[in-house]
Amino acid sequence: MDLVLSKEAINSIIAILDEDLLRAGADCVLLVDRSGNLIVNRGDPANLDVVALAALSAANFGATAEIAKLIGEDDFALLFHKGKNENIHFTKVGRGFILITLFGKDVSLGVIRLKTVKVTEDLLPILGGEQ
Amino acid sequence: MSFIDLSKNEVQCKIVYYGPGRGGKTTNLLYIHQAMSEAVRGKMVTIDTKGDRTLFFDFLPLALGKIQNLSIKIQLYTVPGQVMYNATRKLVLKGVDGVVFVADSLKVQKEKNVESLENLKQNLADDGIDVKEIPLVMQYNKRDLSGSNIPILSVEEMERDLNRDLKVPWFPGSALKGDGVFETLREVSKRTVKHVSRKLLSR
């Protein structure tokens, strides 16, 4: 299944990510598909290789989905990695996409979790429902 | 799964290098990485074990210029060749748009080549892809060993073993020296972009 997104669709995605996640304090937000393609990246990813991050995140998500199956789950809906200064939060968007949010230690995980739930709901219709 | 971004006029495709373990898939990517200028290639990411075997995958993004105003971005991946890593291979194959099958010319690897190709067909089929539909190019690697005292398979024998039914383009190669590496990449990229655009036009 190939994905083609118009300029309008990309702009709508950008508006949602900016409005809900960057304004809530996230440093950088990426939307990628589960085969590793980078769809949109927002924020200021200084010195960040977003293309590699997209590929590794898709692989990471795929690998943890296999772990989920081993313990009798279909999938894990979100993943969270905590660093000293920077944290990274991954959320499943439909079946085919992953939302990656990078945020610093001054932003609470709860806020990011709440915002990503809303963002996921808003993104799905643009990405063609349950892809 | 290819992705087309009409706001940037850009297409992203995924090409996977497949084949038996220690056949030269990573060496192909390393050669491409070393030979291409930084302007067209991104950072190469490798997840390998303590030795030199690929544990998960290698990844190398390339920008291959423009075709009719559309920027072409290709992402190259390799899979781990060892038989036991099939779950990982299936993960890396997810959303693949084109495949390079790197076969090992060593005589002792004859069975392993066939086994790996069968495994590719099966894994693609599990994802609903027919091996005859997807752009596929073969590379018969390690041809530089011909003339040495290590027994190698003839190209004709490899053609019979692997390409009799598929009849896909093939190239003799030596990934270590770079022979055939860019010929293979050029052919698979050309076929993949053509395949993706054909699918788009038929929408």
Give whole-number Cα distances, A71 to A90, B133, B180, B186, in Å. 20, 36, 45, 43
First vs last C-alpha separation in chain A: 9
Residue B50: predicted pLDDT: 52
Which pLDDT band holds residue A108 (cuts at 50, 70, 90)?
A: very high
Count of C-beta atoms within a 10 Å radius of residue B188: 29
> Rounded CA gap, A83 and A107, in Å?
13
Contact (CB<8Å) B5/A49: no
- Complex-level ipTM: 0.81
Residue A131: which pLDDT band, with cuts at 50, 70 and 90? very low
Q: What is the pLDDT of residue A84?
A: 94
- Residue B146 to chain A, least CA–CA distance (Å): 37
Mean pLDDT of A6-35: 95
- Domain borders along chain B are 3-197
> What Rg, from alpha-carbon coordinates, does chain B have?
16
User: In which residue ranges of chain B is pLDDT below 70?
Assistant: 48-53, 201, 203
State the Cα–Cα distance between residues A127 and A51, nearest whole angstrom.
20
What is the strand order of the sheet A97-104 is part of? A38-43, A28-33, A97-104, A86-93, A78-82
Task: Tell me the mean pLDDT in the region A54-76.
Answer: 89
Q: In chain B, whose CA is at the least distance from the CA of A14?
A: B7
pTM summary value:
0.90
Write out pLDDT tens, residues B41-79: 998 988 765 566 677 888 999 999 888 788 999 999 999
The three-class DSSP label of residue B53 is coil
Average pLDDT estimate for A39-66: 88
Q: Is residue A99 within 8 Å of A90, Cβ to Cβ? A: yes
- The per-residue pLDDT for B185 is 97
Choose among A15, A39, A56: nearest CA to A93: A39
| Chain B residues inside the 8 Å CB shell of A39 | 3, 5
Q: Which domains does chain A have, with CATH numbers?
A: 7-126 (3.30.450.30)
Nearest residue of B to residue A35, measured between CA atoms: B95
Per-residue pLDDT at B48: 65
* Residue of chain A whose Cα is closest to the Cα of B77: A55
User: Which residues 65-94 on chain B approach chain A with CB closer than 8 angstroms?
Assistant: 75, 77, 87-88, 91-92, 94
Query: Whole-number mean pLDDT of chain A?
Result: 91
Pick the CATH number of B3-197 from 2.40.50.220, 3.40.470.10, 3.40.50.300, 3.40.50.720: 3.40.50.300
Nearest alpha carbon to residue A35 among B31, B196, B137, B84: B196
For residues A125 and B83, the model is more confident at A125
Residue A95: other Cβ atoms inside 10 A: 10
Tell me the average pLDDT across A12-35.
Answer: 95
